[in-house]
Chains A and B, each alone.
Chain A
């Protein structure tokens, strides 16, 4: 039987129809579609067992607990740890980027030695030998700078520097410094801690509490918890400052006032409270304080100095007086350089209202005990003024140290009067950086001994400034160091041993274990089911677990609702009388610079996290140019137009910017973002915008002697 044409066509057609009825052609088409998107250069996602481990953020100053998602043992993403009191599940844009930062292009991959204008990789043995030799020669003139305000590493660094001799250890300027100075001048002891969770009316003077000030993630959690979605808020927040910043944006009221006038505003509110007679009178120096306030801070005087209407201040005072748990928080709108006097003025209101060591008020928190012999206490470290010291070095008034150790700080970028600070750094002949990323200071150093990142090392977070309670969390390695880096604590202890300096410990892990052992004897509890603010409000604290180290390694935090009893805390009225004065108003072609910082642009030591550049809006950075904000009245006065390119000049430095006319900036003020204008780091940071910190002029605060730089005048053309 032959196959005729008709049968052949039938067979072909039948076969075609039959094939179409099978999944084969559809599967092939589907596969082809997938293959067209399956190129070898598209990264593959990792495969393996998924698990979660807990640690704490060290890159983010808010110190939140983290929950790290791992795949096959490697960290992938960081989220907030719901069981940690400083996180409660929240996380900042910076802390969220902590895993990505492990692979940042700007990471320093091995020890480096300066050779001409370039760096040559060297071994750790060579680096330690060089360090020992140079530091041995510089004995008696060694300075150390730490940017870690809450780590036990400062005990190791300060003990080592003290034994080498010289100017000692400095902390990078922070809000904690102004607060510590203020507390000391008021005769108080302890670190101020703010109980937002139990407060019902919060007056915020300048501090950007929901972005950069203190434990900002925890602050926002406390704020959010008292404001259930869709319901009437259970508390009231009032913000006083030069711009409607991220904090003011969610507060119930914004009262525009210059950063230099915050002390006046506070004493103006004190005037109303004093004249209402709703104050506590037993505090030392009350009569003098009353005389100072009545003598120069009546409503009319405050209106002349700040432009704030008397009825506005009266209303704030009434809110505070009627509240069951009022709280006043003072800080710098840009996170640094405020000076001690505004803090003291704000604390004076807390004193008047009897809010010290009370739930919802300000707790004076004790410092956790030191374990490294010869270490300098945090209170003493905060008492030293770095910008003042470097300014003296630049001017030749203070002898330059022969050697400088820089840990977790970037003074060549992150200090005001950047040009002056650079001059001072140039005078120091031997500089060592322990940076993890190639920042501006590391690029100027003679030797770089790269620190492992927090996800690669043991470290700790001990009561960061702003916390309303004592807290201690452990940072633990989630993976082995990716590059040839070492934890600086171990490096310093090895170096000390090599130089014959006894620091008692051989490894930093041993230091931390001792610290935890001491904590276990100090009382307190591990916050899991009961949180410290609940204990402050009367809840019973649970018993401390038998193995505290194990509990901390699992991501839990040790806390204590401790308080230092105050015997001499007073108003510091004589100092306030000298320090709180009206600031000069800007001239015709000048404005007051009001910088603001945001965690999405990182810190001076991290640069802009690569993932976070996408978060920056085009009202802040367009192309490679940053935008400064002023309102229409200011723009008109200065002859500026929206979108115009301008040059800002101050402290001998010039910066470029574009103008963004924006009405949530008070008249006479130009608001500028910080965190830009890096000359180091990587393509995500370098050359993006300008560093407006360089425009800020450092001045000595009358009466306190502390360096301040919050309200500098700049020329704009």
Chain B
């Protein structure tokens, strides 16, 4: 499917090895604290909780003892053809940032939630309430991410602020900020995953590990048939896991 969105010389991508994910949730915890998502006492109600990174439990639907499980961490897929961008009436979310990261500009967002409905990956969250931190805990807010009020939509940004920091660090060392070394910019979830299930880099840069990883015969993307051309790839040696990545007819 051809794209009416532009191509980017730097395209940040994530590769998630599902076969290494234990489902511990360290990526989710990392994301929450990195991006100033407030603690939610009612978080056991998933319709009301916000988690930019969410770990899904997959099963092969077989009976014991042939049953198998896998965990699928789901950040924003940073689509090449993002359905959310097309529907935004106020240009609050765009695909024009270098690196191919789908932006989310909170002050522009009017909270219409068209993008929430349009996203096939359920990565977008609407703030139904103003964020509240227990007394004193606001002192632990990260200075790198703004705090969102209620009434706007938010989502994973691939920890965009870390890219800015990495570029600054490169400039300070006299290096080219547009040609970062592999690992100079990684997201919080990738950095902290204890199993090393998550990899991150410029998928167009041959010096970056992910450039090769996405060519793995075991690599797939979620709902590829939609033509969203996502920048998040998954890897699994298990065929049933790969098949769950899209909707297939029984005959396929």
Cα–Cα distance between A39 and B107 once the two chains are bound (Å)? 12
Q: CB < 8 Å: which of B44, B71, B138, B235 contacts A616?
A: B44
Tally of chain B residues near chain A (CB < 8 A): 80
Which residues of chain B are within 8 angstroms of A407 by Cβ–Cβ distance? none
Given contacts A44-B147, A45-B147, A90-B194, contact A229 B199 (CB under 8 A): yes
A99 to B34, CA, bound (A): 12
Chain A contacts for B33, CB-based, 8 A:
77-78, 96-97, 99-100, 611
Q: Cβ of B146 and Cβ of A622 under 8 Å apart?
A: no
Complex CA distance for A577 and B40, rounded to whole angstroms: 52
* A663 and B62 within 8 A (CB): yes
- A368→B207 CA distance, assembly (Å): 45
Chain B residues 181 to 239 lying within 8 A of chain A, measured CB to CB, are 188, 191-197, 199, 209, 212-213, 216, 218-219, 235
Report yes or no: B24 in contact with A77, Cβ–Cβ below 8 A. Answer: no
Chain A residues with Cβ below 8 Å from B141 are 43-46, 76
A100 to B197, CA, bound (A): 25
Contact at B192–A103, with CB atoms within 8 Å?
no
Name the residue among B24, B63, B65 with the largest chain A CB count within 10 angstroms: B24
Q: Mark B16-43, 1 if CB is under 8 A from A, else 0.
A: 0101111111101110111011011101
On chain B, the residues within 8 Å of A42 by CB distance are: 130-131, 147, 149
Residue of A nearest to B193 (CB): A90
Q: Are B107 and A33 in contact (CB under 8 A)?
A: yes
Residues in B whose Cβ lies below 8 Å from that of A38:
149
Of the residues A91, A249, A618, contact of B70 by C-beta under 8 Å: A249
Within 8 Å by CB of B134, from A37, A74, A610, lies A610
Distance, CA A104 to CA B25, complexed state (A): 20
**Which residues of B sit under 8 angstroms from A666, Cβ to Cβ?**
64-65
Interface size class of A (residues with CB under 8 A): 35 or more
**How distant is the Cα of A36 from the Cα of B110 in the complex, in angstroms?**
10
Residues of A within 8 A of B144 (CB): 45
- Chain B residue nearest to A600 (CB atoms) is B25
Q: Given the known A-B contacts A105-B135, A598-B24, A621-B44, are A91 and B30 also in contact in the complex, defined by CB atoms under 8 Å?
A: yes
Q: List residues of chain A with CB within 8 A of the CB of B146.
A: 45
Q: Does B78 contact A (CB under 8 A)?
A: no
B157 contacts partner chain A, Cβ-Cβ < 8 Å: no
Q: What is the distance, in angstroms, from B107's C-beta to the closest C-beta of chain A? A: 5
> Do A46 and B20 form a contact, CB below 8 Å, given A105-B134, A220-B194, A663-B63?
no
Q: How far is the CA of A46 from the CA of B143 in the complex (A)?
A: 5
A42-B149, A77-B33 given as contacts; is B213 within 8 A of A230 (CB)? yes
> Does chain B have a CB within 8 A of A319?
no
Contact with A665, one of B22, B64, B68, B138 (Cβ below 8 angstroms)? B64
CB neighbours of A154 from chain B (8 A): none
Complex alpha-carbon distance, A619 and B43, angstroms: 13
Within 8 A of B (CB), among A362-408: none
Confirm or deny: B126 has a beta carbon within 8 angstroms of a beta carbon on chain A.
Answer: no
Contact B139 A631 (CB under 8 A): no
The answer to whether A47 touches B143, judged by C-beta atoms less than 8 angstroms apart, is yes
The answer to whether A46 touches B139 (Cβ under 8 A) is yes
What does the 1/0 interface line of B31-63 toward A look like (CB < 8 Å)?
Answer: 011101101110111100111000101010011
Main secondary structure of the interface of B (DSSP, over half): loop
Please give the distance in Å from A80's CB to the nearest CB on chain B.
6
Task: Please indicate which of the listed interface residues A220, A224, A247, A615 has the most CB atoms of chain B within 10 Å of its own CB.
Answer: A615
A474 lies within 8 A of chain B by Cβ: no
Cβ of A256 under 8 Å from chain B: yes
Is A75 in the interface zone, CB < 8 Å from B?
A: yes
Identify which of residues 648-707 in chain A touch chain B, using a CB-to-CB cut-off of 8 Å.
662-667, 682-684, 688
B107–A34 CB distance below 8 A: yes
Determine if B142 is an interface residue (Cβ-Cβ < 8 Å): yes
Query: Which B residues are CB-close (under 8 A) to A600?
Result: 24-25, 29
| Smallest beta-carbon distance B242→chain A, Å | 13
Supposing A43-B147, A50-B143 touch, asked if A96 and B63 sit within 8 A by C-beta, the answer is no
Q: Is A623 close to B, CB under 8 A?
A: yes
Is residue A53 contacting chain B, with contact meaning CB distance below 8 A?
Answer: no
Task: Tell me if A230 and B218 are in contact (CB < 8 A).
Answer: yes
- Known contacts A43-B133, A220-B22, A619-B57; is-contact A91 B43 (Cβ 8 Å): no
Report whether A37 and B149 are in contact in the complex, using a CB–CB cutoff of 8 Å. Answer: yes
Whether A96 touches B30, Cβ cut-off 8 Å, given contacts A45-B36, A614-B50, is yes
Does any Cβ of A come within 8 Å of B250's Cβ? no
In the complex, the chain B residue whose C-beta lies closest to that of A615 is: B25
A553 interface contact, C-beta 8 A: no
Q: Judging by beta carbons under 8 Å apart, are B15 and A229 in contact?
A: yes
Q: How far is the CA of A396 from the CA of B140 in the complex (A)?
A: 49
Does A41 touch B at the CB level, under 8 Å?
yes
A93-B29, A631-B63 are known contacts. Are A664 and B69 too (CB-CB below 8 A)? yes
Q: Are B22 and A229 in contact (CB under 8 A)?
A: no
A256 to chain B, nearest CB (A): 6
Residues of B within 8 A of A100 (CB): 33, 39, 137, 140
For A217, the chain B residues whose CB sits under 8 A away are: 194
Contacts of B63 in A (CB 8 A): 631-633, 663
Residue B106 at the chain A interface, CB threshold 8 Å: yes
Q: Which one of B55, B65, B70, B194 contacts A256 once the chains associate, using CB atoms below 8 Å?
A: B65
State which of A44, A224, A256, A609 has its C-beta within 8 Å of the C-beta of B197: A224
Structural contact, A96 and B143, CB atoms closer than 8 A: no
Chain B residue, CB-CB nearest to A47: B143
Query: Knowing A76-B143, A91-B30, A100-B137 touch, does A631 contact B44 (C-beta < 8 A)?
Result: no
Q: From B17, which residue of chain A is reached at the shortest CB distance?
A: A229
Residues of chain A contacted by B45 (CB below 8 angstroms): 623
| With known contacts A220-B194, A249-B71, A664-B59, A93–B25 Cβ distance under 8 A | yes
Q: A211 at interface (Cβ–Cβ under 8 A)?
A: yes
Q: Which of B17, B147, B192: most chain A CB closer than 10 A?
A: B192
The answer to whether A221 touches B64 (Cβ under 8 A) is no
> Does B173 have its Cβ within 8 Å of any Cβ on chain A?
no
Q: A43 touching B40 by the CB < 8 A rule?
A: no
**CB-based contact B22/A250 at 8 Å:** yes
- Asked whether A589 is an interface residue with its Cβ less than 8 Å from the other chain, the reply is no
Interface membership of chain A positions 170-194, coded 1 if the CB is closer than 8 angstroms to chain B and 0 otherwise:
0000000000000000000000000
Give the 8 A-B residue pairs with the shortest CB-CB distance, closest first: A224-B196, A90-B194, A663-B67, A615-B25, A610-B39, A103-B137, A43-B138, A230-B216
Additional pairs, 12, CB under 8 Å, beyond known A244-B67, A610-B134: A42-B147, A45-B142, A45-B146, A77-B188, A90-B195, A96-B33, A217-B194, A223-B195, A229-B209, A229-B213, A618-B46, A622-B44
List 22 contacting pairs A-B, 8 Å CB cutoff, sorted by A.
A37-B149, A43-B141, A45-B143, A48-B143, A74-B140, A78-B33, A89-B191, A93-B26, A96-B29, A210-B195, A224-B194, A229-B209, A229-B213, A230-B235, A247-B22, A249-B70, A610-B41, A612-B29, A623-B44, A624-B44, A664-B59, A684-B41
Binding site for A on B (CB under 8 A): 15, 17, 19-26, 28-30, 32-34, 36-37, 39-41, 43-46, 49-51, 55, 57, 59, 62-65, 67-71, 106-108, 130-131, 133-149, 151-152, 188, 191-197, 199, 209, 212-213, 216, 218-219, 235
